[in-house]
A and B are shown apart, each in its own frame.
Chain A
Amino acid sequence: MVSIYNRPSMLFDLTKCIACRACQVACKRWNKRPAEETSLNSDPATQWTNPPRLSSNTWRLVKYKLTYDEENDEVTWTFIPYSCMHCNDPPCLPVCPTKAIYKRDDGIVHIHSERCIGCGYCIEACPYKVRFFADDGYFGIKSIYKCTYCLDRLDAGLEKTACVQACPTEALEFGEYTEMHEKARQRAKAVGGYIYGDEAPLQRGSDIGTASVYVSKAPFEELGFPTEEQRISAPFVMERILLERGGLAIFGLGVLSFLGFALWRRERIGRAKMRELSKE
Chain B
Amino acid sequence: MATITTFALGEIPEVMATTGEYPRLDRIENYLEGQTVPSICLYCAGGCGVRVTTLNGEIIETEGDPDHPINSGRLCSKPTAYPQLIYSERRILHPMKRTNPNKGENEDPGWVQITWDEAYSIITSKIQEAMENVPYKRTNTTTGKDDYYYVGKDSPVSWLGSSYLNNEECYLGRKLTALIGSNNIEHQARKCHASTVVGLANTFGFGAMTNHIIDAKNSKVFLIMSNPAESHSMEFRWVTEAILNGAKVINLDPRFNRTSTKADIYARYRSGSEAAIILGLIRYTIVNERYNKDFLETRTNAPYDLDGNFLSDWETNPDSIFGKLKALAEDYTPEEVYRISGIPVEKFDLIADTFTSIKPGNIYYAMGTTQHTNATQAIRAEAILQLLLGNMGVPGGGVNALRGISNVQGSTDMNELMHYIMGYRGPPQKETEIRRYQKWKNYDPAARGGSSDPAAVKANDNDPSYTAVEQRYYNRHFPTWNSLEYNWGMYVGTWPGVDPDNESVVCDLPVGNGYPIVALFRKIYNEDIKVLICNGENPAVSMPNAEFVRDALSKVFLVVNELFETETAWFADILLPGTVQVERSGSITNTGRWIQWRWKAIDPPGECKPDLEYITELYQKIRQDAGIKLPSERFRDDTGNDTGSRPEDCWPSPYASVFKGDPYTPEDVYKEIGAKSLDPNVRPGYVTVQPAANVIYRNSYNPNPVTELDISVDGILAKRRDTTPVDSQDAQYGYFKNWAFSWMDNQRVLYNINESNPGVKTFFAWWALNDTTWLGLDKAAIWSYYLFSGSITDVKNPLSHGIPLHNEPLESPDSELATEYPTMWGSYYTYYNVYEDIKPVDVGDSSEYPYVLTTFRLAEHMQAGALTRNLPWLVELFPEVFVEMSPTLASEIGVSSGDYVLLKTARNPDGDMVKCVVTDRIQPMTINGKTVHEVAMPWHWGFRGLSTGLSANVLTMDAVDVSAHIPEYKACLCKVEKV
Across the interface, do B83 and A34 meet the contact criterion of CB distance under 8 Å?
no
A18 at the binding interface (Cβ < 8 Å): yes
In whole angstroms, how far apart are the Cα atoms of A155 and B23 in the complex?
A: 12
A73 to B876, CA, bound (A): 32
Would you call A152 an interface residue if the criterion is a C-beta within 8 Å of the partner chain's C-beta atoms? yes
Provide the A98-121 mask, 1 if CB < 8 A to any CB of B, else 0.
000000000000000110000000
Q: A212 CA to B749 CA in the complex, in Å?
A: 40
Query: Which of A16, A18, A47, A50 has most chain B Cβ within 10 Å?
Result: A18
Contacts of B20 in A (CB 8 A): 113-114, 136-138, 143
Write the nearest CB–CB distance from A186 to chain B, whole angstroms: 12
Residue A196 interfacial (CB < 8 Å): no
B104 an interface residue at 8 Å Cβ cutoff? no
Decide: B233 and A168 in contact? CB cutoff 8 A: yes
Task: For chain A, residues 115 to 160, give those with C-beta under 8 angstroms from any C-beta of chain B.
Answer: 136-138, 143, 145, 148, 150-153, 155-156, 160
B488-514 vs A, Cβ < 8 Å mask (1 yes, 0 no): 000000000000000000000000000
Contacts of A31 in B (CB 8 A): 18, 22-23, 27
| Contact status B261-A18, CB under 8 Å | yes
Asked whether A30 and B27 contact (CB < 8 A) given A20-B230, A25-B80, A47-B917, the answer is yes
Contact partners of B18 in chain A: CB under 8 A? 31-33, 136
Query: In whole angstroms, how far apart are the Cα atoms of A22 and B236 in the complex?
Result: 13
The answer to the question of A3 belonging to the interface, with a C-beta cut-off of 8 Å to chain B, is no
Which listed segment binds B: A35-43, A83-91, A176-184, A248-256? A35-43
A138 to B19, CA, bound (A): 8
Chain B residues with Cβ under 8 A from A67's Cβ? 920
Q: Which residues does chain A contribute within 8 Å of B930, judged by CB atoms?
A: none
For residue B20, give the distance in angstroms from its CB to the closest CB of chain A: 5
Chain B contacts with A in 1-17, Cβ cutoff 8 A: 5, 7-10, 12, 15-17
B261 touches A35 (CB 8 A): no
Contact with A along B229-265 (1 / 0, CB 8 A): 1100110110010000000000000001011111000
Contact across chains for A40 and B898 when beta carbons are under 8 A apart:
yes
CA distance A155 to B66 in the complex (A): 19
Pairwise interchain contact A66-B917, C-beta atoms closer than 8 A:
no
Are A18 and B917 in contact (CB-based, < 8 A)?
no
Decide yes or no whether B915 CB sits under 8 A from chain A: yes
Q: Is B877 an interface residue (CB 8 A)?
A: yes
Interface size on A, residues (CB 8 A): 59
CA distance A30 to B19 in the complex (A): 15
A242 beta carbon closer than 8 Å to chain B: no
Which listed residue (A25, A50, A66, A169) contacts B240, Cβ 8 A? A169
Q: A18-B261, A166-B74 are in contact. Are A40 and B873 (CB under 8 A)?
A: no
Looking at the complex, which one of B74, B260, B262, B917 makes contact with A165 (CB distance below 8 Å)?
B74
A18 touches B898 (CB 8 A): no
B169: interface (CB < 8 Å): no
Q: Looking at chain A's contact residues, is the secondary structure mostly helix, strand, loop, or mixed? A: loop
A79 and B262 CA atoms in complex are apart in Å by 11
Are A167 and B77 neighbours in the complex by a CB distance under 8 Å?
A: no
User: Which residues of A sit under 8 angstroms from B12, Cβ to Cβ?
Assistant: 34
Which chain A residues in 1-39 approach chain B with CB under 8 Å? 16, 18-22, 24-26, 28-39
The listed residue with most B CB atoms (<10 A of its CB), out of A29, A37, A156, is A29
Q: Check B711 for interface membership: any CB of A closer than 8 A.
A: no
Interface centre among B12, B28, B234 (most CB of A within 10 A): B28
Q: Are B80 and A50 in contact (CB under 8 A)?
A: no
Q: Give B949's nearest chain A residue, CB to CB.
A: A40
Evaluate contact between B83 and A170: CB separation under 8 angstroms: no
Q: Is the CB of A24 within 8 A of B921?
A: no
**Chain B hits for A238, CB < 8 A:** none
Q: Report yes or no: A153 in contact with B9, Cβ–Cβ below 8 A.
A: no
- CB distance A28 to B24 under 8 Å? no
> Assuming the A-B contacts A152-B25, A153-B28, A156-B32, are A22 and B233 also in contact, with contact meaning beta carbons closer than 8 angstroms in the complex?
yes
| Set of chain A residues within 8 Å of B21, measured between Cβ atoms | 113-114
* Docked complex Cα distance between A30 and B880 (Å): 26
Query: Are B879 and A40 in contact, CB atoms less than 8 angstroms apart?
Result: yes
Q: Can you list, as one digit per residue, whether each of B806-821 has a CB less than 8 Å from chain A (1) or not (0)?
A: 0000000000000000
User: Which B residues lie within 8 Å of A39 (CB)?
Assistant: 879-880
Chain B residues with CB under 8 A of A21: 77, 859-860, 877
Determine the residue in chain B with the shortest Cβ distance to A141. Answer: B20
In the complex, B803 has a CB within 8 A of chain A? no
Chain A, residue nearest B12 (CB): A34
Taking a contact as CB atoms closer than 8 A, the residue among B229, B882, B918 that contacts A40 in the complex is: B882
Confirm or deny: A77 has a beta carbon within 8 angstroms of a beta carbon on chain B: yes
Q: A22-B74, A113-B20 are in contact. Are A165 and B64 (CB under 8 A)?
A: yes
* Nearest neighbor of B235 in chain A, beta-carbon distance: A168
User: In the assembled complex, which residues on chain A have CB atoms less than 8 Å from the CB atom of B63?
Assistant: 26, 162, 165-166
> In the bound complex, do residue A18 and residue B915 qualify as a contact, i.e. CB atoms below 8 Å apart?
no
Contact call B260/A50, Cβ cutoff below 8 A: no
Binary contact readout B43-86 vs A (1 if CB under 8 angstroms, 0 otherwise): 00000000000000000011110100001011111001101000
B539 close to chain A: CB less than 8 A: no
The chain A residue sitting closest to B916, CB to CB, is: A42
Alpha-carbon distance A145/B27, docked complex (angstroms) = 17
Known: A32-B24, A151-B23. A47 touches B897 (CB 8 A): yes
Contact check, A148 vs B23: say whether CB atoms are below 8 A apart.
Answer: yes
Check if A50 sits within 8 Å of B19, measured CB to CB.
no
Given contacts A35-B9, A152-B25, contact A19 B921 (CB under 8 A): no
Smallest distance from the beta carbon of B26 to chain A beta carbons, Å? 10
A68 within 8 A of B: yes
B897 CB contact (under 8 Å) in A33, A43, A114? A43
The answer to whether A168 touches B234, judged by C-beta atoms less than 8 angstroms apart, is yes
Residues of chain B within 8 A of A16, CB atoms compared: 240
CB < 8 Å: which of B10, B22, B261, B873 contacts A113?
B22
In the complex, A175 has a CB within 8 A of chain B = no
Interface residues of B in 826-883 (CB under 8 A from A): 859-860, 872-880, 882
* Pair A168/B80 contact, Cβ less than 8 Å: no
Expressed in whole angstroms, the Cα–Cα distance for A256 and B62 within the complex equals: 46
* A34, B16: Cβ atoms closer than 8 Å: yes
Chain A residues with CB under 8 A of B240: 16, 169-170
Q: Is B923 an interface residue (CB 8 A)?
A: yes
Does B919 have its Cβ within 8 Å of any Cβ on chain A?
Answer: yes
How far is A38 from B21 in the complex, measured between Cα atoms in Å? 26
Which of A35, A40, A44 sits near B872, CB closer than 8 Å? A35
- B16 / chain A contacts, CB cutoff of 8 Å: 32, 34
CA–CA, A28 and B18, complex, Å: 11
Q: Which of B10, B73, B234, B877 contacts A24 (CB 8 A)?
A: B877
* CB–CB B27/A32 < 8 A: yes
Once bound together, how far apart are the Cα atoms of A234 and B63, in whole Å?
41
Most A CB within 10 A of own CB, among B25, B259, B915, B920: B920
Q: With the chains together, A45 CA to B260 CA distance in Å?
A: 17
Closest CB in chain B relative to A145 CB, distance in Å: 7
The residue from A26, A37, A75, A150 contacting B920, defined by CB atoms under 8 A apart: A75
Q: How far is the CA of A263 from the CA of B17 in the complex (A)?
A: 27
Q: Is the CB of B917 within 8 A of A42?
A: yes
Give Cα A26–Cα B260 distance, bound, in whole angstroms: 25
Give the CA-CA distance A72 to B347 in the complex, in Å: 12
Q: What residues on B are CB-neighbors of A167 within 8 Å?
A: 74
Task: Report A86 CB to chain B, min CB distance, Å.
Answer: 15
B236: A residues at CB distance < 8 A: 18, 168-169
Q: B261 near A25 (CB under 8 angstroms)? A: no
**Known: A42-B882, A43-B897. Contact between A79 and B80, CB under 8 A?**
no
Instruction: Pick 5 A–B contacts, CB within 8 A, sort by A.
Output: A22-B233, A35-B875, A44-B887, A168-B237, A169-B233
User: Other than the known A28-B873, A143-B20, what 13 A-B pairs have Cβ atoms closer than 8 Å?
Assistant: A18-B262, A25-B81, A29-B80, A29-B873, A32-B15, A35-B875, A40-B917, A44-B897, A77-B256, A113-B20, A166-B63, A168-B71, A170-B240
Listed in ascending order, the chain A residues whose CB lies under 8 Å from chain B are 16, 18-22, 24-26, 28-40, 42-44, 47-48, 50-51, 66-68, 73, 75, 77-79, 113-114, 136-138, 143, 145, 148, 150-153, 155-156, 160, 162, 165-170
* Shortest 9 CB-CB contacts between residues of A and residues of B: A35-B872, A68-B920, A42-B898, A18-B229, A40-B880, A35-B876, A25-B80, A42-B897, A152-B23
